[in-house]
Amino acid sequence: MSNLTEPTYKHYSIHALGYLQYLQRFPDYDQEPFMKRLRRCRPRTIGTFNWCGDPSPGNAYHFKHVPWKMVKADGRLKADFDQWNPLWEDKLIELNQACKAWDMHDNQILFMDRYNYHLFKPEWNVQGINGFFSPEAREVQKKYAVHCMELAREGRGYSKYKPYLTLCNEPGSRRVDVHRMGHVWAEWHRDIYDAVIPYTERQRITVNSSDFCEYAHADLIEPGRCAYWDHPTEPCTHIFGREGQKRDILIEGHGVSKLQSFIEKGFAGIGAWPAHVWSEDGAWENIANKRELFKALDFCIRTYLNMGKEFYFIGWMFNVEVDGKEDYADLSRIRWGRLKQFDRVMRRMG
């Protein structure tokens, strides 16, 4: 390990979404070169999907790399929610060990229901659980979330370590009955939050709202009316939230790296939030080049600071896929210049 003389940036994270699955596909992979190169960009956290569980062609190559054992039942592989996958456990521990060695943190992205819901269909799990948001699934999910916290602590070698995590279901991107599902989303986020908060702190939890869907964090802040309170056809008098909670939990929104998109979308959603997390994925045809990204970050960071707010940024790795699969063998393919832009802006600001 090289001398880590420069501190990481509290407000910067880099997504390596399929990295944990890659470690399971290639158990002998040497993490040091990747971690060393990543550390030069000075992110505080690395965002990784803890599991996918999507059997569709685009994701099937890491379908079996989920937190639970996949067993043969009824002529097919199914998840057994009563048994942990030991390889997944080992690699999550090793990832946290590597992050500690390089003075970074693993930001565990615990869920993404559009990639996770398959395992909660009866044909894909031994227990016959039916529905990602069903009460039976919720119990499995809370137990899993707590186990993730325990494994992170084991990897860091500190029983009181407070892990970073993201509750990520992107409710704002759904074409569904938003009001009905909004109440489900709010309750789901609240229940998972209540399960993990004894192990961490609010400032280390990010809620991915995707286009600023209010329901995702509605029960995690101060009390407030349902958005349908005055709806002309289906008024709702439900009060979300809990007394004593503030808007000090991080809210993540998706955008693109073009300067104009940051301006147009970023300020539309920040509202009363004292801090905002921006992830640059989104409209892939509008991904910025290095110069455009530098201008966007410089503008947003300065503007948010002038507003007395905090601006967090999540950079995405590009050119990491080979034949549709994430591949961390050849690090020279990754567009590291883009990932250094946050560092450039912060250095210029002094």
pLDDT by residue (tens digit) across 336-345?
999 999 999 9
Q: 59-66: long-range contacts at Cβ-Cβ below 8 A with a sequence spacing of 24 or more?
A: 59/115, 61/25, 61/325, 62/18, 62/21, 62/24, 62/25, 65/20, 65/21, 65/24, 65/25, 66/119
With cut-offs at 50, 70 and 90, classify the pLDDT of residue 153.
Answer: very high
Residue 282, pLDDT > 60, answer no
Bridge partners for 125 per DSSP:
79
Average pLDDT, the chain: 88
Share of the chain above pLDDT 90, in %: 59
Reading phi first (left if > 0) and then psi (alpha if -120 to 50, else beta), residue 151 is in alpha
The secondary structure of residue 47, as a DSSP letter, is E
pLDDT of residue 173: 54
CA atoms within 13 A on the CB side of 336: 13
d(CA 102, CA 127): 40
State the residue for tokens 């040497």: 30
Angle, CA 132 vertex, CA 126 and CA 137 arms, to 5°: 55
The secondary structure of residue 42, as a DSSP letter, is -
DSSP-based three-state secondary structure for 7:
coil
d(CA 38, CA 245): 35
pLDDT of residue 269: 44
Residue 21, pLDDT > 90, answer yes
pLDDT of residue 179: 86
CA distances (Å), 51 to each of 19, 67, 151, 215, in order?
10, 7, 14, 24
Domain ranges for the chain? 9-349
DSSP-based three-state secondary structure for 49:
strand
Cβ-proximal residues to 258 (8 Å cutoff; 6+ apart), any chain: 286, 287, 288, 292, 296
CATH T-level fold of 9-349: TIM Barrel (3.20.20)
Q: How many CB atoms lie within 10 A of CB 272?
A: 9
Residue 268, pLDDT > 50, answer no
252 vs 261, higher pLDDT: 252
d(CA 165, CA 182): 22
- What pTM was estimated for this model as a whole? 0.93
68 vs 274, higher pLDDT: 68
Whether the CB-CB separation of 280 and 313 falls below 8 Å is answered with yes
With cut-offs at 50, 70 and 90, classify the pLDDT of residue 14.
Answer: very high
Lookup: tokens for 324: 């549709």
d(CA 310, CA 304): 6
Whether the CB-CB separation of 81 and 126 falls below 8 Å is answered with yes
CA distances (Å), 260 to each of 13, 113, 302, in order?
22, 30, 15
Cβ-proximal residues to 228 (8 Å cutoff; 6+ apart), any chain: 179, 234, 235, 236
With cut-offs at 50, 70 and 90, classify the pLDDT of residue 91.
Answer: very high
At position 242, the amino acid (one-letter code) is: R
At position 319, the amino acid (one-letter code) is: N
Nearest to 192 by CA among 208, 179, 173: 208
Lookup: tokens for 298: 């410089």
How much is the average pLDDT of 132-142? Answer: 96
d(CA 275, CA 259): 19
How much is the average pLDDT of 16-34? Answer: 95
Q: How many CB atoms lie within 10 A of CB 271?
A: 11
With cut-offs at 50, 70 and 90, classify the pLDDT of residue 1.
Answer: very low
Residue 264, pLDDT > 90, answer no
d(CA 174, CA 169): 10
